[in-house]
Amino acid sequence: MGDHGGAGGSRRRRTGSRPSSLGSGGPAAVAEEVRDSVASPDVGAGGDARALARDKNGDARVGSGPLELRCHRLQDSLFSSNSGFSNYRGILNWCVVMLILSNARLFLENLIKYGILVDPIQVVSLFLKDPYSWPAPCLVIVANVFVVAAFQVEKRLAVGTLTEQAGLLLHVANLVTILCFPASVALLVKSITPVGSLLALVAYTILFLKLISYRDVNLWCRQYRAKAKTASVGKKASGDSTQGTISYPDNLTYRDLYYFIFAPTLCYELNFPRSPRIRKRFLLRRLLEMLFFTQLQVALIQQWMVPTIQNSMKPFKDMDYSRIIERLLKLAVPNHLIWLIFFYWLFHSCMNAVAELMQFGDREFYRDWWNSESVGYFWQNWNIPVHKWCLRHFYKPLLQRGNSKWVARTGVFLASAFFHEYVLSIPLRMFRLWAFTAMMAQVPLAWIVGPFFQGNYGNAAVWLTLIIGQPMAVLMYVHDYYVLNYEPS
Amino acid sequence: MGDHGGAGGSRRRRTGSRPSSLGSGGPAAVAEEVRDSVASPDVGAGGDARALARDKNGDARVGSGPLELRCHRLQDSLFSSNSGFSNYRGILNWCVVMLILSNARLFLENLIKYGILVDPIQVVSLFLKDPYSWPAPCLVIVANVFVVAAFQVEKRLAVGTLTEQAGLLLHVANLVTILCFPASVALLVKSITPVGSLLALVAYTILFLKLISYRDVNLWCRQYRAKAKTASVGKKASGDSTQGTISYPDNLTYRDLYYFIFAPTLCYELNFPRSPRIRKRFLLRRLLEMLFFTQLQVALIQQWMVPTIQNSMKPFKDMDYSRIIERLLKLAVPNHLIWLIFFYWLFHSCMNAVAELMQFGDREFYRDWWNSESVGYFWQNWNIPVHKWCLRHFYKPLLQRGNSKWVARTGVFLASAFFHEYVLSIPLRMFRLWAFTAMMAQVPLAWIVGPFFQGNYGNAAVWLTLIIGQPMAVLMYVHDYYVLNYEPS
The helix-helix angle for B442-452 and B455-486 (nearest 10°) equals 150
Residues B380-424 pLDDT 10s: 999 999 999 999 999 999 999 999 999 999 999 999 999 999 999
- In this complex, which of B224, B408, B420 lies closest to A65 when CB atoms are compared? B224
Q: Does B273 touch chain A (CB under 8 A)?
A: yes
Instruction: Inspect the interface and report whether the beta carbons of A94 and B463 lie closer than 8 Å.
Output: yes
Q: Does ipTM surpass 0.90 in this model?
A: no
Instruction: Inspect the interface and report whether the beta carbons of A46 and B111 lie closer than 8 Å.
Output: no
Residues A252-289 pLDDT 10s: 999 999 999 999 999 999 889 999 999 999 999 999 99
Q: Does B110 touch chain A (CB under 8 A)?
A: no
**Distance of alpha carbon B104 from alpha carbon B97, whole angstroms:** 10
Q: In percent, how much of chain A has pLDDT > 70? A: 83
**Distance of alpha carbon A361 from alpha carbon A364, whole angstroms:** 9
Give Cβ neighbours of residue B381 (< 8 Å, ≥ 6 apart).
A14, B366, B367, B368, B369, B372, B387
| pLDDT, chain A, mean | 81
Res B23: pLDDT: 36
Residues A29-77 pLDDT 10s: 333 333 433 333 333 333 333 333 333 333 333 344 455 577 888 888 8
Res B307: pLDDT: 87
- Residue A205 pLDDT exceeds 90: yes
Q: Which residues of B are catalytic?
A: 420
Residues A391-409 pLDDT 10s: 999 999 999 999 999 999 9
Instruction: Inspect the interface and report whether the beta carbons of A390 and B5 lie closer than 8 Å.
Output: yes
- The answer to whether the CB of B481 falls within 8 A of the CB of B309 is no
CA geometry: angle A443, A449, A451, nearest 5 deg: 110
Q: Give the residue on B whose Cα is nearest the Cα of A11.
A: B377
Res A316: pLDDT: 78
Give the CB-side neighbour count of residue A56, counting CA atoms within 13 A.
3
How many C-beta atoms surround the C-beta of residue A489 within 10 A? 4
The beta-strand segments (E) located in B216-353 are none
Q: Give A 205-234 residues with CB within 8 A of chain B.
A: 205, 217, 220-221, 223-225, 227
Burial of B155-188, coded b for 16+ CB within 10 Å and e otherwise, reads bbbbeeebeeeebeebbeebbeebbebbbebbee
pTM for the structure as a whole: 0.71
Instruction: Inspect the interface and report whether the beta carbons of B38 and A391 lie closer than 8 Å.
Output: yes
On chain A, the residues whose CB falls within 8 A of the CB of B387 are 3, 5
Ranked by mean pLDDT, the top range of A35-39, A106-110, B76-80, B175-179 is: B175-179
On chain B, the residues whose CB falls within 8 A of the CB of A108 are 322, 325-326, 329
Secondary structure of residue B75 in the 3-state scheme: strand
- Residue A68: φ, ψ to 5°: -50, -30
- In this complex, which of B3, B74, B79 lies closest to A383 when CB atoms are compared? B3
- The answer to whether the CB of B267 falls within 8 A of the CB of B211 is no
Q: Does B373 touch chain A (CB under 8 A)?
A: yes
Res B389: pLDDT: 95
* A-B contacts at Cβ under 8 angstroms: 478
Q: Give the residue on B whose Cα is nearest the Cα of A384.
A: B3
Res B45: pLDDT: 37
Q: Give the residue on B whose Cα is nearest the Cα of A404.
A: B41
**Distance of alpha carbon A262 from alpha carbon A141, whole angstroms:** 13
Secondary structure of residue B404 in the 3-state scheme: coil
- Residue A184 pLDDT exceeds 90: yes
Residues B290-346 pLDDT 10s: 999 998 998 888 888 888 888 888 887 787 888 888 888 888 888 999 999 999 999
On chain B, the residues whose CB falls within 8 A of the CB of A5 are 380, 387, 390-391, 394-396, 408-409, 412
Q: How many residues does chain B have?
A: 489
On chain A, the residues whose CB falls within 8 A of the CB of B98 are 99, 333, 336, 467
- In this complex, which of B63, B77, B111 lies closest to A245 when CB atoms are compared? B63
Q: Give A 46-65 residues with CB within 8 A of chain B.
A: 46-47, 59-65
- Residue B39 pLDDT exceeds 60: no
- Residue B271 pLDDT exceeds 70: yes
**Distance of alpha carbon B453 from alpha carbon A345, whole angstroms:** 31
The helix-helix angle for B321-343 and A90-114 (nearest 10°) equals 150
Q: Give A 11-30 residues with CB within 8 A of chain B.
A: 13-14, 17-18
Residues A432-471 pLDDT 10s: 888 899 899 988 888 888 788 888 888 998 999 999 988 8
Q: Give A 460-479 residues with CB within 8 A of chain B.
A: 460, 463-464, 467-468
Provide the pLDDT confidence category of residue A314 given band limits of 50, 70 and 90: confident
